[in-house]
Amino acid sequence: MVKVEMTSRHQALKLLLAIIQQGRNLTDVLAELNAESTIDNSKDKAFIQELCYGVCRWYQQLEWHLQQLLKKPLKDKDLDIKLCIFIGFYQLLYMRVPDHAAIAETVQITKALKKMWATNLVNAVLRNLQRQKESLAKQLLTAPAAAQFSHPAWLLKVLQQAWPEHWQTICTANNQYPPLTLRVNQQKISRDNYLKELAEENIAALPTTHSPYGIRLEDKVAIETLPYFQQGFVSVQDEAAQLAAPLLQLQTGQRVLDACCAPGGKTLHILEQQPQLSACVAIDNSATRLTRVEENLQRHQVTAELICADSGAVDSWWDKKYFDRILLDTPCSATGVIRRHPDIKLLRKATDIIALVKQQQRLLNALWPLLAPGGLLLYVTCSILPEENSEQIAKALQSHSDMQEVVLDDQQWGLSLPFGRQIFPDSQFMDGFYYCLLKKLTYL
C-alpha cells in the first residue's frame, strides 16, 4: 500500500478536530504545531494557520453552503469529512488558491483518512460549489442571519437583544482580520522616535488614536524582527487593552495588584507607567501562563511579585497588606476579541455565560476588601455582553456600600453605559473591551 504523506490541509484538519472534539483553543493547537520539527516550512505553517482561522471564522456560513449542496446530512461520526469539505470550501470562497488545486488536494485528505467512500462525495460537493458560487452568493443575502454573519445562533440572539443598533457592525467586525498594534515602552523610547525607527526599516505604521503609547502596523510583520523588540522597547497589545494602566492613575510608592494577570501585557504597562511602585503583585492560576508573564518581564528587564493562585482564594496568598490599586481583568466570554480568536464561535456555549458571571462576581467580592480606603479598582473584560459588564457592576454597587463608580465621562472612546464604558470591536481598530473604575470610600 502506498503511504500517503500528511499534507498541510490534512494537518489543518487534525487541528480543527482537536478544537471541536476536545474543546481545545486555536492558540494552543497552533503553538504545538509551530513547535513541531516535522513542519519546517514557514509557508506551510502560515497556510495551515490560515485554513484553521478561516474555517473557524466562517464555520456557520460554510455549514449553510454544505446544507445547500448536500442532500443527505453527514453522520456525526464523519465530522472529519465535514471539516475536510469546509477546508475545501474556505479555499474556494476566500483564498487565492487555484480551484483545481484546492479541490484535488482537499480530496486527497479522504485517502489519508482511509475513507475512500468519501472521495467521490467530497470531490462532487467541491465541484458543485465551484459551479454555483455566484448563485449561492445571491441566496446567502436572504439566508438566516446566523449564516449571513457567520455567528452561532445563540450568540447572535444575545447580541441582537443587547445591542439592537450595533449588532450588525459588531458581527461584521468579528469576521475581519484584527489589526497588529504595538505598545511603546516610554521608559525606553518615545512613540515618535519608535515610529522613526520603523520608517527606517520601511515598516508602515500609524499612531493609535486613543492610546498615546500605541502604534498600528499597516502590514503583517514578524514580531521578532521589529527594531529593539528583544530589548523590550515595544510589546504587542491591542489599543483597547492599552487604556487599562493609565486609568489606574498610578503614583509613586503605591502597592498594586494585577489579578488574573497572564499573559502579562497589562502588568508590563503598569510597571512602565509607574516604575517607582512599592510593590506590583501579579497573580494567575496557571503556572504555564505565568511562565509567559515571567518571560515578558525579563525581556523588559523589570520585576514583579508573581504568584500562582486563584485570585479569589484570598486566604491562600494575601499577606494582609492592602492595595492602593487593583486591576481585575476578569475571566470572561471573550466575545469582544472574536476576530482574534474565531474559535470562540465554536467553543463558547450559552451556558458558559452563567458560570462566568458567577466567577466574576466571586472575584470582585473577594478582592474588594483588599483595596485600601480611597483606593481604585479597575474592572475590565474583553466581553461585549451586558451581564458580564454593566449588569455585574450594578449588582456590586448594591452589595458594597463603600463602593462608588468613578464616571469616565471625560474619555473619548467607547459608549457610555449606566455603569462603565463599552468599546465595540468595530471602534477605530480596537478590540471589544469594557471598563469600569471603582473607588473605595473612606467612610460608610
- Rounding to the nearest 10 degrees, give the CA dihedral for residues 116, 120, 121, 123: 120
Cβ neighbourhood burial of 309 (10 Å; 0-12, 13-18, 19+):
middle
Q: How far is CA 440 from the centre of its chain?
A: 31
Catalytic position from the list 171, 260, 332, 382: 382
- Residue 327 makes CB contacts below 8 A (sequence gap 6+) with 244, 245, 248, 256, 257, 258, 259, 266, 270, 377, 378, 380
d(CA 192, CA 210): 15
Q: Which residues pair with 205 in a beta bridge?
A: 217
Which residue, 51, 105, 43, is CA-closest to 83? 51
Q: Could you tell me if 371 and 322 are in contact, meaning their C-beta atoms sit under 8 angstroms apart?
A: yes
Would you call 260 a catalytic residue per the annotation?
no
Tell which residue, 440, 436, 371, 354, has the closest CA to residue 404. Answer: 440
The alpha carbon of 427 is separated from its chain's Cα centroid by a whole number of angstroms, namely 16
Hey, what's the cell of 396? 456590586
DSSP 8-state class, residue 418: S
* Short-list 367, 333, 378, CA closest to 353: 333
Quote the Cα angle for 263-268-270, to 5°.
120
Contact (Cβ atoms closer than 8 angstroms) between residue 396 and residue 371 = no
Q: What are the residue ranges of helices labelled H in 368-441? A: 390-399
User: Could you write out the three-class secondary structure of 188-211?
Assistant: CCCHHHHHHHHHHCCCCEEECCCC
What is the residue-wise DSSP string for 79-97? Answer: HHHHHHHHHHHHHHHHS-S
Task: List strand residue ranges (DSSP E) for 137-249, in order.
Answer: 180-184, 205-207, 214-217, 234-236
CB 232 within 8 A of CB 264: no
Give the Cβ contact number of residue 307 at 10 Å: 18
For the annotated catalytic residues, the residue numbers are 382
